[in-house]
Chain A
Amino acid sequence: MAEGDISFDPNRNYDDETLSLQREIEKEIAENQELIGPMQPIEELIEHYAKEDQIYRHKLMDLRKRHSHIRKVRGDGNCFFRGFGFAYLESLLTDEAEFARFKDIAVKSKDNLVALGYSQFTIEDFHDTFMDVVGQVEKKVSVDELQNVFNDQGISDYFVVYLRLIVSGHLQKESDFYSSFIEGGRTAKEFCSQEVEPMGKESDHIHIIALATALGTCVLVEYMDRSGEICNQLVFPEEGARPAVHLLYRPGHYDIVYSLTSD
C-alpha cells in the first residue's frame, strides 16, 4: 500500500478507537511500574541501555559519581509531583526541624487557596487527605510504609492534586513575577487551569520552581538527554539551600535519585 493512502470509514468511530488504545497503553504502564518503585542501585539502570548507547551509558557513569540509588516513579504525567512528594516526605522522616517548618506551611496553605477563590469543600477534601499523609511522617512510619501510602492510588492521587493546587495558588498569587515565564500569552490563571491543575499534565521548570518556592525548599534535577557529555544539574530555586529532593530527568520523565553523601 502506498504511503499516504488514507481512507476514512464513516461507520468507524475513530475517537473511540484512539481513546481505547490510550487506555490500553495506560494500563500497560500501570502493570509494569508501581506509582513509587523500590530503591535500586544506579548500576541496574545501566543494564537497560544497549552497549551501543554510549551517550547514555557515559552519562550514567557520570551520574554514578554523585548518586548511588534510583527509585522509579510511574510515568503518568504526575511523576514530578509524586516523585517530589515521596522524596520530600522521606527526607522529613529524619529531619524534625524541617518537618515542623513544612507542617506549618502545609496547615496554612488551605486558607491561602480558599482566599484565592477555590471552593472550600473541594479544597478541604484534598487538604484533609494531604494532612493525613503528613501525619504519617509525624508518626515516623518506616520508609516502606510511606512507600505503601504512595502506592495506594486513592491517597496518592489526592496528595498529587493538592501539590498541584499549591503550585497553582502560588503562581496566581505571584503572577506578576511568573507571568513572563508563561508561554502563549496566557494569564497565570489560564495557565494554571490548563497546565497545572489537571491531573496528568506534565511539569516544566516553572512548576518545579513554584512548588519548591511555595514550600520553602529546594530541588536538584539531574538532566540526562542526548546532548553534551555529562548530566546537567539544575537547582530550583537557584539561590536555594541544600536540596532536600534529588530527581533525575530523562526526556518526559522524572525519577527519584539518592545522593552518595546525604544518606
Chain B
Amino acid sequence: MASMEKRLQKELQAMTKDPPPGVQVDQESCSRVMNEWIVDLEGATGTLYEAEKFQLQFKFGSKYPFDSPQVTFLGPNIPIHPHVYSNGHICLSILTEDWSPALSVQSVCLSIVSMLSSCTEKKRPPDNAIYVKTCSKNPKKTRWWYHDDTV
C-alpha cells in the first residue's frame, strides 16, 4: 500500500521541521531506504543521561502505521535503563500492544526521551541476561509484560 510511503514522507517533514528537543533524524539514513531510519538522541539536561548520545533505529513494515514500527537502540552506547536490554530492545507498551496509528515517530521519540528522563537509577532489566540470549531479533516478536509504568 502506498499509504505507508506517503505517511513516512509526512513524518520525515514533521521531524525535520519540528523535532522534539534533543532528537534529530539522520537524513542520510532515510534517503538510502525510506523504511529504515536512524534517529540521534541526546539525554535531557538535569537527568541521569545528560549529554549522553544515543542512536535509535526505526524499521517500518508495509502495514505501517497500522503496525507499530520496530524500534531499538543501536550502536556503541545503549542506555543503561531498567526497560532497555543490552541488545538495544526496549520494553515500552506503545511499541506493541498500545500502539495506535495516530502515534508517530515523533511521539515514540518523546516517549523514549521521557522514559529515560524519569529514570532514578541506572541499571539493566533484572532478566537481561536470559532475555538477550533467548529473544528473537525483532523485539516486536516478544510478548512483553509491562510491569511498571512508573520507572
A residues within 8 Å of B by Cβ? 10, 13, 15-16, 18-19, 118-119, 121-123, 125-126, 154, 157-158, 161, 164-165, 193-194, 197-199
Contact = CB atoms under 8 A, between A and B. Distances in A.
Nearest to B7: A125
B143 A123 contact: no
B14 interface: yes
Given A13-B134, A122-B102, A123-B102, A19 B66 contact: no
A10 B135 CA distance: 11
Contact of A161 (B97, B102, B104, B106): B102
A126 B141 contact: no
B98 interface: yes
Contacts of B136: 13, 15-16
B134 A198 contact: no
Contacts of B101: 122, 126, 157, 161, 199
Nearest to B102: A122
A158 B103 CA distance: 13
Given A123-B102, A193-B98, A197-B102, A154 B134 contact: no
Contacts of A125: 7, 10
A197 B100 contact: yes
Given A121-B14, A125-B7, A198-B98, A10 B106 contact: no
Contacts of A165: 102
Nearest to A155: B3
A157 B66 contact: yes
Interface string B88-107: 00000110011111111011
A249 B63 CA distance: 30
Contacts of B7: 125
B134 A193 contact: no
Contact of B1 (A13, A16, A154, A193): A154
A242 to B, nearest CB: 32
Contact of A122 (B94, B103, B134, B143): B103
B107 A198 contact: no
Contacts of B26: none
A193 B1 CA distance: 26
Given A15-B143, A16-B136, A199-B100, A121 B11 contact: yes
B142 interface: yes
Contact of B143 (A10, A18, A164): A18
A15 B139 CA distance: 11
A233 B106 CA distance: 44
B100 A193 contact: yes
Contacts of B10: 121, 125
Nearest to A118: B102
Contacts of B107: 119
A15 B143 CA distance: 6
Contacts of B99: 198
B94 A16 contact: no
Contacts of B98: 193-194, 198
